[in-house]
A and B are shown apart, each in its own frame.
Chain A
């Protein structure tokens, strides 16, 4: 059990590279309990890599990652499964299992991870689908028959099915039209509040980031170069942040790219 002053998630000086390419170069961030943090940054800056390091899908070469004060980088498989049981994840393209019907996708973590009876897991899955605005009839469908927005909703239902302490959202609105993006954002805010979870979202969609964030952090060249409450981002005093949030072609980010 952690008190409210202990970060729910702590990343300290995390480094990760692929061959000669350094992706994370000393990434540090604290996320407090029940806080919704959005990490913004351009494509290829290491946002997804950072999430995969927290989930244990990738191992950082250097640095520490803690969840509820427990170091997680060198966990055994069994301990990792226990930690991951506290986490829900919405993948960029939802990553639904094609071979299973929608309800079983939502109930997967309950049946396989928590060894719940299929009937009970089915009922919970239908309830979670309703929570994201999908009817019970959708539960019988195959993921291949769903639209992009429905896939995201099913992915969201799967992420919250186990009532996780922590939820990660990887580019939750990518590939959606603005209206559906707004709907998904509202669902994320509602679901995170209902579950009482801590959330980390990564996106480069600024309207979406403003809707779902309590706090924002900007990732650039593998490091957090600014973080603060969402209301302060327009007055960050950081040229990189200003350029990014205004989507301007002129600024330090472009200039540095040209130098390469």
Chain B
């Protein structure tokens, strides 16, 4: 095949896929704000995304904070700059690690589950059945997941922030011999509202992306078990990549001067 033709076909395919995804996202958002709303379904999704993901996010951020303190000490002690560890831990956790790690963990746990559930519903004609029962699947299936993703991930990240900083505190005080009051005061003095807010904004965006990719790939799943498997993989991979891209863009937006 002519390389130029192949490049053109790939570009057109990419643009078409981007267009389909954007349309899907816009229709999904429209159904989030236009009645009827399904509080029962939103609540169920919130429990799935928020409550059941709490242990995973808690463990991830706690150990991330602990490792961060340990690694920072290894590097900073060479320059007698151990005093900067509390600020490094609190800023790294709130701005970057907690939202990104939580987002990636949720992409693996929830994005995959959404794609598998919706994909199975698609190939077993349950989504067709919804339409024949005068129920819009975008409103009944997609909108509750998007709302739950956007609202629950910031809550998880807020808890992750606290646990991540606590992990750093544990290692610094009980292993590295820091004074606990000095550690806490340093942490508190260095953190600003913008650091936490930027992390929460990232979390909301990541929650939306995870839910969107899970829903999009599951909803358009084709071809039986193999298609559902492919949809699940695509949902996790695309959500993870989009989280990393969006992380850079939001960081640029908040902190580039």
- Interface flag for A52 (CB, 8 Å): yes
Cross-chain contact B125 with A92 (CB below 8 angstroms): yes
B33 to chain A, nearest CB (A): 16
Within the complex, which residue of A84, A93, A96, A158 is in contact with B134, where a contact is CB–CB below 8 Å? A84
Q: Which residues of B contact A87 (CB under 8 A)?
A: 132
Q: Which residues of A contact B120 (CB under 8 A)?
A: 98
Cross-chain contact A91 with B128 (CB below 8 angstroms): yes
Cross-chain contact B124 with A113 (CB below 8 angstroms): no
Cross-chain contact B124 with A81 (CB below 8 angstroms): no
Cross-chain contact A109 with B131 (CB below 8 angstroms): no
Cross-chain contact A113 with B135 (CB below 8 angstroms): yes
Provide the bound-state CA to CA distance between A32 and B134, in Å: 24
Cross-chain contact B134 with A85 (CB below 8 angstroms): yes
Report how many residues on chain B are interfacial, defined by Cβ distance under 8 Å.
14
Cross-chain contact A109 with B128 (CB below 8 angstroms): no
Binary CB contact string for chain B from 101 to 144 against chain A (1 if under 8 A, 0 otherwise)? 00000000000000000001100111011011111100010000
Q: Which residues of A contact B125 (CB under 8 A)?
A: 91-93, 95
- Interface flag for A112 (CB, 8 Å): yes
Q: Which residues of A contact B128 (CB under 8 A)?
A: 52, 55, 57, 91, 95
Binary CB contact string for chain A from 99 to 121 against chain B (1 if under 8 A, 0 otherwise)? 00000000011001110000000
Provide the bound-state CA to CA distance between A158 and B121, in Å: 17
Cross-chain contact A95 with B134 (CB below 8 angstroms): no
Q: Which residues of A contact B124 (CB under 8 A)?
A: 93, 95
CB-based nearest A residue for B41: A99
Q: Which residues of A contact B121 (CB under 8 A)?
A: 97
Binary CB contact string for chain A from 176 to 206 against chain B (1 if under 8 A, 0 otherwise)? 0000000000000000000000000000000
Within the complex, which residue of B131, B135, B136 is in contact with A55, where a contact is CB–CB below 8 Å? B131
Provide the bound-state CA to CA distance between A87 and B121, in Å: 21
Provide the bound-state CA to CA distance between A52 and B34, in Å: 27
- Interface flag for A56 (CB, 8 Å): yes
Binary CB contact string for chain A from 67 to 89 against chain B (1 if under 8 A, 0 otherwise)? 00000000001000110110111
Provide the bound-state CA to CA distance between A101 and B136, in Å: 20
A126 to chain B, nearest CB (A): 18
Within 8 A of A (CB), among B82-102: none
A103 to chain B, nearest CB (A): 15
Within 8 A of B (CB), among A35-85: 52, 55-57, 77, 81-82, 84-85
* Best-surrounded residue of B120, B131, B132, B134 (most CB of chain A within 10 A): B132
Within the complex, which residue of A56, A82, A96, A98 is in contact with B131, where a contact is CB–CB below 8 Å? A56
CB-based nearest B residue for A58: B128
Provide the bound-state CA to CA distance between A88 and B120, in Å: 22
CB-based nearest A residue for B126: A95
Cross-chain contact B132 with A84 (CB below 8 angstroms): yes
A210 to chain B, nearest CB (A): 26
Cross-chain contact A91 with B134 (CB below 8 angstroms): no
Provide the bound-state CA to CA distance between A166 and B145, in Å: 33
Q: Which residues of A contact B133 (CB under 8 A)?
A: 84, 108-109, 112-113, 158
Provide the bound-state CA to CA distance between A81 and B138, in Å: 13
A-B contact pairs, 26 of them (CB 8 A): A52-B128, A55-B128, A56-B131, A57-B128, A57-B131, A57-B132, A81-B136, A84-B132, A84-B133, A84-B134, A85-B134, A87-B132, A93-B125, A95-B124, A95-B126, A96-B129, A97-B126, A97-B129, A98-B120, A108-B135, A109-B133, A109-B134, A109-B135, A112-B134, A113-B135, A158-B133
Q: A114-B134, A158-B133 are in contact. List 17 more A-B contacts (CB 8 A).
A: A56-B131, A57-B132, A77-B136, A87-B132, A89-B132, A91-B125, A91-B128, A91-B129, A92-B125, A93-B124, A95-B126, A96-B126, A97-B126, A98-B120, A108-B135, A112-B135, A113-B133
